[in-house]
A and B are shown apart, each in its own frame.
Chain A
Amino acid sequence: MYKSMRLGILVVLVVLFATPMAFSQGQKAVADDAFEVVTVVKITGIPWFNRLEEGVVQAKEELGLNAYQIGPSDADPAQQVKMVEDLISKNVDAICITPNDATALEPVFKKARDQGILILTHESPDQAGKDVDIELIDNIAFARRTWDMLVEGMGTSGKYAIFVGGLTVPLHNLWADEGIKYAQEKYPDLELVTSRIPCGEDQELAKQKTLELLKTYPDLDGIVGFGSLGPPGAAQALKEKGLAGKVTVVGTVIPGHAAPYLKEGSLTKGILWDPKDAGFALNWVAKYLLEGNKLADLKEIPGIGAVAVEGDVIMVNAMVDITKDNVDSYGF
């Protein structure tokens, strides 16, 4: 009995101590002197961030960085905070992050920077405590384009609703704010029926919320969905209720996922940028800054395009409309 218990404890100890070491050795083996640049995404294992990871892998191969991507299994701000803390103790060179919650991360960002770790954010332009933020789109133009697309579908007057991924997701809410402001000026007859609904990262929930909206506001004309699963969920609900094409659905989508909905007409139009570019740009800028170059001198990111630097925000304009005609031309 004693013997088997001691054996058991030994096995547990071996697993606890040896396994992480084996992993870290594997990572170190890539290149000892390469910068360790870690990309932390909102959720791991969803198409959007899988595509972003392709950009990280590209950067690893082309730029000779020790670059890799991690992220929580659901869009949980607390888990991201913990991951950043772990990376601080690991003493990496730079952390690239798409925040789930801008304010929740502020304290750890400060801690990281005190330790000399570079913090680059994406999709969080007003983030406090960062070194630099990279946006692949001009957020104001992006929001306005989305509302223009909505109007192209439903006309300049009518009722609409907004889906966001979560009420604390910085970018979705920034777009929503900008879009609402824009609509008030340019399309005063558009009526937002209810405050934004947090269901854009869950297709089943987006579908359910759309069904409920249709019962609450039977004369609903349009839905703007931010978060790649909002628009497909809404499209699915419309199809089920025979309203495909009668209610306009626009928003951020993954082309491969949205293709059937765009083709059957239940989804009007999508808008996005290629997350792979974001992954590459984050790592490219990380290397650029780690090598001691000045942010103000940055004019272009190779392969991505010309940049505009405003304070600590780098902007590249890589916004594209996704329609039923071009949806198959993206490889993701």
Chain B
Amino acid sequence: MTQVSISVKAVTRKYGTHPALDAISFDVKKGELFGFIGPDGAGKTTLFRILTTLLLPDEGEATVEGLDVVKDYKKIRRIIGYMPGKFSLYMDLTVEENLKFYATIFGTTIEENYHLIKAIYSQIEPFRKRKAGQLSGGMKQKLALSCALIHKPVLLFLDEPTTGVDAVSRMEFWDMLKRLKEGGITILVSTPYMDEASLCDRVALIQDGKILQLSTPQQVVDHFPYELYNVSSGDIYNLLADLRNYPGMMSCYAFGQAAHISFIKETFRETHLRDFLKEKEHNQLTIEPINPNIEDCFMELMNR
């Protein structure tokens, strides 16, 4: 039997009349690496703040490790680690002082739980006398993760941990998450980057406070209902405009230097599109079928 770590039932939170979360429901299993994927303003941070007991839900209820987020908030705070989207450690304390401070608040010491953070902390340990405010983005993030782990949490909340971090550091960070997961920690992570979604066990696509889809990354891709083609030409701007006027098109959007265009299955004839585009004076045309990725699925879901 898989045990449930987080259970959210019809949680709503409004800012004024605008619902940041609109009757959202989902479960997270123990030991899962669960991703929230969505654009800015989708409600990811609001959800995280409710689950970390910083914000009260207007309606609905949520439990974390069987503890109610409203009634048992004190117990929840002992067992979770939270890394807010904005770097929020003390900039004028050194790396070591920050870590020691958070260890002390939780009634533990660095030595006691050093094995938990060793892999991460050892990378910034040479700079332990440096002020946190003078660290680079990637180092700050490692320090924040160390501080969130120092009290041996069973559950880790990471709100957009890779925003503003370079590509190499991002990959390193996800490797660290995988290792933590192997250690048995349940991890909830939110990100605006679609490519990171495939690294999660399960993902929830979220927009305007609603979950559009919740499944494994593979299932998300498998559920893509259309055929997808990558089209590029010398003039991407007009290409997009022209493609959007092409009959039978289901969706079309820019993807890097090309356009992704989708059609209902088995309705697409390549020669017809080629002729259509040539008529509009496009040259250097390439048209190729591709497998959809998470981003394609998300764009499609958003347009529904």
Answer yes or no: are A and B bound together in one complex: no
**Chain B interface (Cβ < 8 Å from any Cβ of A):** none
